[in-house]
Amino acid sequence: MKVLLIKDVYKLGRAGDVKKVADGYGRNFLLPQKMAVLATPGAIKTAERIRSKAAEKRIILNEEMSVVAKALEKVQLTFGARAGETGKLYGSITSQEVVDALQKKTGYGLKRQQLDMQPLRALGEHAVRIRLTMDLIPEIKVTVFREGEAEPSLPIEEPAPKAEEKVTAKQSTEQPAETDENANPVA
């Protein structure tokens, strides 16, 4: 079945494109959702007008959503989960859980269908892509850690440099003494 796309469809095409799709996909999804119309000769004549209107809408939408994308790129989510010795989770972290955590942390209402991810089933850091528009796909970091262990976050890492600063301060006081010893044998 040939259809003329009226709206941008992820992984299929942009508005104004003529695409050949499976009959069931066109009849049961694209046509009822008003994302496409049958590619008749009359509809194909309007394709250029649809493309130009869609391009204008796409530019406006991308400008509006770029602020959201910049904010989302900075987001890091952490989840505690039970896991075996090999690092494999007993359950999984689903896209709905990630969306709920994003809603709680940022206040942006997203749908789970906008996340480009499979359920997370292992410990570690994972990259999750969020489809805001066809052109704007920010990536967030999701860290899954073993439940009962310390949550990996920035405040835990901050005390370590302070300890190193103390060590460097001790070394700086010891270094002049060493240079004095080196100076005495020469003199």
Q: What is the pLDDT of residues 81-122, one digit of tens each?
A: 999 999 899 999 999 999 999 999 988 888 999 999 999 999
* Per-residue model confidence (pLDDT) at position 18: 94
Range of the domain at 80: 70-157
Residue 71 in this model has a pLDDT that exceeds 50: yes
Per-residue model confidence as pLDDT tens digits over 116-137? 999 999 999 999 999 988 888 9
Residue 108 and residue 38 share a domain: no
Residue 41 and residue 94 share a domain: no
The mean pLDDT value for 6-20 works out to: 91
Q: What's the rounded Cα separation, in Å, for the pair 121 and 106? A: 24
Query: Virtual CA dihedral for 161, 164, 166, 169, nearest 10 degrees?
Result: -120
Token code pair at residue 176 = 């002049």
Residue 58 domain flag: no
Residue 147 and residue 78 share a domain: yes
Q: What are phi and psi for residue 13, nearest 5 degrees?
A: 170, 180
Q: What one-letter code names the amino acid at 133? A: T
Residue 173 domain flag: no
Spell out the residues 6+ positions from residue 35 whose beta carbon is closer than 8 angstroms to its own.
Answer: 5, 6, 7, 9, 29
Q: What's the rounded Cα separation, in Å, for the pair 166 and 174? A: 13
Residue 85 and residue 151 share a domain: yes
Per-residue model confidence as pLDDT tens digits over 34-58? 999 999 999 989 888 999 999 999 9
* Per-residue model confidence (pLDDT) at position 158: 39
Residue 80 and residue 41 share a domain: no
Residue 114 domain flag: yes
* Per-residue model confidence (pLDDT) at position 153: 59
Token code pair at residue 9 = 């469809």
DSSP codes of every residue in 42-90: HHHHTHHHHHHHHHHHHHHHHHHHHHHHHHHHT-EEEEEE-B-TTSEEE
Residue tagged 């509809």 (tokens) = 43
Residue 99 and residue 25 share a domain: no
Residue 89 and residue 32 share a domain: no
Residue 135 and residue 97 share a domain: yes
Residue 147 domain flag: yes
Residue 137 domain flag: yes
Per-residue model confidence as pLDDT tens digits over 125-174? 999 999 988 888 999 999 999 887 777 754 433 333 444 443 444 344 44
58 within 8 A of 8, measured Cβ to Cβ: yes
Residue 110 domain flag: yes
Q: What's the rounded Cα separation, in Å, for the pair 82 and 134? A: 35
Residue 134 domain flag: yes
CATH number of the domain encompassing residue 134:
3.10.430.100
Residue 152 domain flag: yes
Q: Would the pTM of this model clear 0.75, i.e. be above it?
A: no
Count of structural domains within the chain: 2
Residue 182 in this model has a pLDDT that exceeds 80: no
